[in-house]
Structure 1
Amino acid sequence: MNLLEAVRIVAGRELKVKLRDKTFLFSTVFFLLFALGSSVLPAVLASGPSSVAVAQASPYEQKLRDAGLEVKVVADPEKVVRDGDADAAVVDQGGKPQVVAMRDAPGDVVRSLSVAPEVHLLDPDAVDELAKFLVPFMFALVFFFTSLTFGIQIAQSVVEEKQTRMVEILVAAVPVRALLIGKVAAGGILALAQVALIAVVSIVGSQFSDDAGNLLPLLAPAMSWFIPFFVLGFIMLAALWAAVGALVNRLEDVSNAGMPVQLLVMLPFFAVIFLGDNPTAMHILSYVPFSAPTAMPLRLFDGSAATWEPFVALVLLAAAAAGALLLGARIYEGSVLRTNGRTSWSAAWRDRELRGI
């Protein structure tokens, strides 16, 4: 059996097991509901247009209707407001409109009667300040939690196979290296599928927002580049997590053994969040493999990256992912069959005998 066929078999097995895992299914449904709620609820819960009362033959009736307000034509507009049947009333006061309300005048009623000045935008394509904060946060959050969650699950899967002696049966059928690559491939497929589902649900839900038409065209280039960066970044970290699982024999030890890998995920996450408004720092972070999956798409989103830069960063990330696979495979081969306690990284690296299995 060649390596490619072995990887396909291992990946298929991992996918079947994971798709039957209730924890994975529950987390996917939870994230989908969270994404849907985050994009839909603000629009659903937003208050509708104000109801406004006007007298018969009011000169302001049509203007209020054109503004999308609920207009009620009554004999005594002020009385309707006092009775609570309308949010406000518009009456004529010496040829000028007067808004009558109980405590606060509804903003949409006031705006509909105001004369807006001519506006000249110096930078019409500028990104909204709220979007400048939310988009970097969401990119970093997706990569951080996905790589960390699936990475730990890969490590735990390796440990469980060691505890049950299943790994001894598996290495008798397929090459040891195929086990690692198959686990990484399966985890990558599931992670990308989960992220894609969340993105689709978020985009569909955002259609309820009035700002969707302005934000989505700006997000498109960053999102399209985020996919290859995410895949390579995930492969890089997943290979290291698989190696972590091979180093230990108990699930309780995964956290301590994986602390170096956790730091490699956490430090870039906080760096992108806190240094997002520092052009020099973001320029550097967009080329560092562990932060490039979030930093480079963000620079593409705000327009600070040149056309050639994502290609260079992607090549560097691909090289780092290949190096992580080689390192992870060597550590994995040197420790996956050890059952006499936790193995150090250096001992697993030096072990040539088990790596030959």
Structure 2
Amino acid sequence: MTKTRYDTPGFLPATWLVAEREVRMRLRSKVFLFSSGILLLLVLAGVILPPLLGGNTSAPKVAAVGSAVAIAEQTGALDVTEVASVAEAEKLVRSEKVEAALVPSTGDSPLEVSVIALDETPSSIVGLFSVAPSVDLLDPSGQNPGLVYLVAIAFGLIFFVSALTFGSIIAQSVVEEKQTRIVEILMATVPVRVLLAGKIIGNSLLAFGQIVLVSAVTAVGMLATGQDLLLADIGPSIIWFVVFFLFGFVLLAALFAATGAMVSRQEDISSTTTPVTMLVMIPYFLIIFFYDNPVVLTIMSYVPFSAPVGMPMRVFLGDAMWWEPVLALLVLVLSTLAVIALGARIYSNSLLRTGARVSLKEALRG
């Protein structure tokens, strides 16, 4: 009788098989699909509802000078206050009694009027004209504090929720495989490093896909509600957030897998994963309390665990030089490779050990 010989798959095919298994398991989970849908709906509501609710308020208040008065009144959508001089109009803008001032154009404006605003382009006013007028900012160095805070909360919260959710899934999956001894069957077929790589890649693809969907929903919602100028302002920081999140999550995923392998019961997971959970929570609280502190944000930009939040925030504020995101990303990539090597050692030395929790010293020594 001839015996059939099955060849062991190579590293890349085997890793992809494990990654596919992780993806299929998550996509079959109704809880995962439901929570992801709720997250997308919340993001969409947060983007669409404010402009819609704001549309029920009174017309934007503007000050107008000379010939700009008639042009402002022709729009039919502005509460116009006529003033005698540009200086008086600027005074009203600085005191925030009006959102902007319309004055006769003296430069190369495509219209006969120019807009004067305090610290940001008033999109609700500029959008009323078929051709955008020139805009002069009295305090161009500033950003709308409310908008800055909302962007900080968005970056911090999305990173916190996604990293913690998928990180916990990885740790629980590792412990479940140890508890049911499935890992012994898997290790008889593929090496330990393949199991770790597949688990990280599979869950990273899911987390990255969720972040891309959130970003796409945000962009579509802003375009649908006429927030084109705001999208153009925040768009580059969203792109950097997606890129930094990918590598930042891989780093955290390696740590969650390694610390999950150090225990054999679901009840003991928190005893080893708490330090990693803190690494996820710290950037969230830092960005909430220090969202406008340039020193703290600069430090966060180059610390691997907080760079996915800190650097995109600096890009949005315009505080980062063109080369800084590239340098911070390089630091994050190198740190991720080092953490993967460390996590792989802990994972391989702990995976087959059952019973009492494996100490970090034992996991590193093997």
Normalised to the residue count of structure 2, the TM-score between the two structures is 0.76
2:150 is equivalent to residue 134 of structure 1 = yes
Partners of 1:269 and 1:289 in 2: how far apart? Answer: 14
- Among 306, 321, 326, the alignment partner of 1:311 is 326
Q: Which residue of structure 1 aligns with residue 281 of structure 2?
A: 266
Residue 301, structure 1, aligned to residue 316, structure 2: yes
Post-superposition shift, 1:65?
7.8
**Range 319-328 or range 113-122, more displaced:** 113-122
> Alignment partner for residue 27 of structure 1, among 28, 35, 43?
35
The residue that corresponds to 1:67 in the other structure is 76
2:46 counterpart of 1:38: yes
Q: Which amino acid aligns with 1:10?
A: V
Confirm whether residue 121 of structure 1 aligns to residue 121 of structure 2. Answer: no
Q: Which deviations, in whole Å up to 9, do the C-alpha atoms of 1:208-260 show, x marking residues without a partner?
A: 445x2221112122122222211110000000000111111111211221111
Q: CA deviation at 1:43?
A: 3.2
Residue 223 (1) aligns with residue 200 (2): no
CA distance in 1, matches of 2:326, 2:36: 31
Query: In the alignment, is the contact (CA less than 8 A) between 1:282 and 1:299 conserved in 2?
Result: yes
What is the CA–CA distance in structure 2 between the aligned matches of 1:285 and 1:188, rounded to whole Å? 22
Matches of 2:48 and 2:321 in 1, distance apart? 34
**1:154-178 CA deviation, whole Å, 9 max, x = no partner?**
0001111111111011111111011
Q: What is the SS of the residue equivalent to 1:301?
A: helix
Q: Retained in 1: the 8 A contact 2:174–2:257?
A: yes
| Aligned alpha-carbon RMSD (Å) | 2.4
1:1-357 alignment runs, 5 A limit: 1-46=9-54, 48=56, 66-68=75-77, 111-112=79-80, 118=103, 119=116, 120-124=136-140, 126-210=142-226, 212-351=227-366
- Cα distance in 2, alignment partners of residues 345 and 22 from structure 1: 35
Number of residue-to-residue matches in the alignment: 301
CA distance in structure 1 between the aligned counterparts of 2:55 and 2:332, rounded to whole angstroms:
46
Aligned partner of residue 339 in structure 1, secondary structure: coil
Shift of residue 125, structure 1, vs aligned partner: 7.5
User: Distance in 2 between the 1:114 and 1:179 partners?
Assistant: 72
Q: Deviations over 1:134-192 (max 9, x none)?
A: 11221111111111110010000111111111101111111101111111111111011
**1:207 aligns to what SS in structure 2?**
helix
**Preserved CA contact (<8 Å) 1:148 1:265:** yes
Write the letter of the residue equivalent to 1:157.
S
Is the Cα contact below 8 Å between 1:334 and 1:348 reproduced in 2?
yes
Letter in 2 for 1:13: R
Give the residue type in structure 1 aligned to 2:158.
V
Q: Kindly tell me: are residues 45 and 284 of structure 1, through their superposed partners in 2, closer, same or farther at Cα, counting changes over 3 Å?
A: closer
The separation in 2 between residues aligned to 1:282 and 1:124, in whole angstroms, is: 21
Structure 2 distance, partners of 1:227, 1:63, is 41
Are 2:222 and 2:228, in contact at CA under 8 Å, matched by a contact in 1?
no
Q: Which of 1 and 2 has greater Rg? A: 1
Tell me the secondary structure at the aligned position of residue 67 of structure 1.
coil
| 8 Å CA contact retained: 2:251, 2:339 | yes
Structure 1: any 5+ residue segments left out of the alignment? 52-61, 69-107, 352-357
The residue matched to 1:223 in structure 2 has which SS? helix
Question: Does the Cα contact within 8 Å between 1:64 and 1:113 map onto a contact in 2?
Answer: no
Change (3 A) 1:47 1:306: closer
> Which sits farther off after the overlay, 146-155 or 128-137?
128-137
In 2, Cα distance between the equivalents of 1:15 and 1:66?
A: 53
2:29 maps to a residue whose letter is: D
Residues 47 and 292 of structure 1: CA distance in aligned 2, closer, same or farther (over 3 Å): closer
Q: TM-score, structure 1 length as denominator?
A: 0.78
Q: 1:114 Cα deviation (Å)?
A: 5.3
Q: State the Cα distance separating 1:113 from its structure 2 match.
A: 6.6
SS in 1 for 2:137: coil
Residue 41 of structure 1 deviates from its aligned partner by: 2.2
The percentage of aligned residue pairs carrying the same residue is 46
Letter in 2 for 1:259: T
One-letter amino acid of the structure 1 residue matched with residue 337 of structure 2: A
Residue 182 of structure 2 aligns with an amino acid whose one-letter code is M
Q: Deviations over 1:60-108 (max 9, x none)?
A: xx9978414xxxxxxxxxxxxxxxxxxxxxxxxxxxxxxxxxxxxxxx6
Return 5+ residue gaps in structure 2 as ranges: 1-8, 60-70, 84-100, 104-115, 117-135
